[in-house]
């Protein structure tokens, strides 16, 4: 197939991919800067967990509605609106920070508003990929999307660390606001006639929700993948809470060191994404192997590895987590029928990121009580246990429904 097959074959996907590369780099600038801002305001791991929780609380409460919206409305137009809203919110945080007016409650409020926008953005963006590339190139495109995310994850935190040390926090937020223009431009330049047309049924919201949930509950493979995703997403993947504390309290490496540790995590995930893109195929076995490997690497972070050892462990954890998430995402999208894909991805978003309001504060509180090593140990154990349970489920995947 080739590592960049979807990019070579689909013009609309090229526009989307390159726009995302710029925008997601900006997102990581903001994510890193926001974590350092909250830590500076509070010196509290719990506060970091609360910010993450608030950002994903709307997805937990309304994620299924977002899936219905993804199936009902034009995805390209929806994404233009959501990306514009993200840009506005980033600009507000930038102005508050640069003027010295920022307070913790404002960071909390903006995180919550970002979460409300993400309710519509996340499932729509996930389900839009197959409209651009079709079924044959879907696993490759999902892996390339992950490569974008993790390229930015490798670059963004390190750049953010330098910006924080050199010119201040606000620049991270200004650059993020500007980066959304690349995505909006790419969406507007797309050729609509090259997008797959999916017939949208005008159902009442309640009926649409029941239809999506009925499908999930009665398709055994989809149900097991989503249950595992919910468990791992809630309790096993909250490193955004623990890495700043590891850098500041345990390793004492400052903002630049925090950026390097976050970048190491992203570099590992980027390598994993390119491996999946090159292979071009996913399977339940790959998904479960990724979950187990992620758990083992995360447990290692609870050991006294030092700065370099922690960076290596974070790289391994990043690569393994990518194998897990890319495989689960692809398997769900290939199994779900066209008319239900948005709702299935709404459940995916709810269980994977929407449960952060539960997991992030719990992991943050645990780290505050027993130390960051205890937080990493719990995360790793959850992921390994979930992988073992999934192996006993003997999952099988149907032919692509696209």
- Summarize pLDDT for 43-55 with one digit per residue, the tens: 887 888 788 778 8
* pLDDT attached to residue 397: 59
pLDDT score for 120: 93
Transcribe 239-250 into DSSP letters.
HHHHHHHIIIII
Continuous H helices in 167-283: 170-189, 205-218, 220-235, 239-245, 254-279
Give how far the C-alpha of residue 201 lies from the chain's centroid of Cα atoms, to the nearest Å.
Answer: 29
* Structure confidence at residue 398 (pLDDT): 54
Residues 6 or more apart whose Cβ sits within 8 Å of residue 162: 256, 259
The answer to whether the Cα torsion of 108, 113, 116, 117 is positive or negative is negative
Residues of the chain below pLDDT 70:
1, 198-202, 354, 396-402
CA dist 389 and 373 (Å) reads 25
CATH says 5-187+205-393 is which class? mainly alpha
CB distance 241 to 256 below 8 Å:
no
303 and 124 Cβ atoms separated by less than 8 Å: no
* Global model pTM greater than 0.85: no
pLDDT digits (tens, 9 = 90+) for 55-108: 888 988 888 899 898 888 899 999 999 999 999 999 999 999 999 999 999 999
The pLDDT, as a whole number, for residue 400 is 43
Structural contact between residues 144 and 330, judged by C-beta atoms closer than 8 angstroms: no
Mean per-residue pLDDT over the chain, rounded: 88
């Amino acid at each position: 197939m080739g590592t960049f097959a979807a990019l070579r074959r689909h013009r609309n996907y090229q526009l989307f991919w390159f726009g995302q590369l710029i925008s997601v780099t900006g997102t990581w600038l903001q994510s890193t800067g926001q974590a350092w801002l909250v830590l500076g305001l509070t010196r509290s791991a719990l506060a970091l967990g609360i910010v993450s929780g608030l950002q994903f609380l709307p997805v937990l409460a309304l994620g299924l509605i977002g899936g219905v919206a993804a199936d009902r409305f034009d995805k390209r137009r929806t994404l233009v609106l959501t990306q514009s809203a993200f840009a506005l919110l980033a600009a507000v945080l930038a102005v508050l920070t640069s003027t010295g007016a920022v307070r913790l409650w404002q960071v909390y409020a903006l995180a919550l508003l970002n979460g409300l926008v993400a309710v519509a953005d996340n499932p729509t963006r996930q389900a839009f990929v197959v409209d651009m590339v079709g079924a044959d190139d879907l696993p490759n495109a999902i892996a390339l999307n992950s490569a974008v995310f993790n390229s930015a994850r490798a670059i963004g935190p390190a750049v953010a660390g330098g910006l924080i040390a050199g010119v201040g926090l606000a620049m991270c937020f200004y650059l993020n606001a500007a980066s959304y223009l690349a995505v909006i431009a790419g969406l507007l330049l797309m050729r609509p006639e090259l997008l797959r047309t999916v017939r949208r049924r005008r159902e009442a919201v309640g009926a649409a929700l029941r239809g999506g949930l009925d499908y999930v509950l009665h398709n055994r493979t989809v149900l097991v993948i989503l249950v595992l995703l919910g468990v791992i997403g809630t309790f096993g993947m909250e490193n955004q809470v623990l890495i700043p504390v590891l850098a500041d309290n345990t390793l004492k490496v400052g903002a630049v060191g925090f950026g390097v540790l976050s970048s190491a995590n992203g570099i590992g995930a980027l390598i994993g994404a390119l491996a999946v893109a090159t292979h071009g195929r996913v399977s339940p076995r790959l998904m479960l192997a990724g979950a187990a490997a992620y758990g083992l690497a995360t447990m290692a972070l609870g050991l006294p590895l030092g700065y370099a050892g922690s960076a290596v462990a974070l790289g391994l954890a990043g690569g393994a987590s990518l194998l897990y998430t890319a495989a689960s995402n692809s398997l769900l999208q290939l199994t779900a029928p066209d008319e239900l894909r948005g709702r299935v991805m709404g459940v995916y978003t709810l269980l994977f990121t929407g449960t952060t309001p539960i997991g992030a504060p719990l992991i943050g509180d645990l780290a505050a009580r027993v130390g960051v090593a205890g937080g990493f140990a719990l995360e790793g154990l959850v992921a390994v246990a979930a992988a073992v349970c999934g192996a006993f489920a003997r999952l099988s995947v149907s032919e692509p429904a696209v």
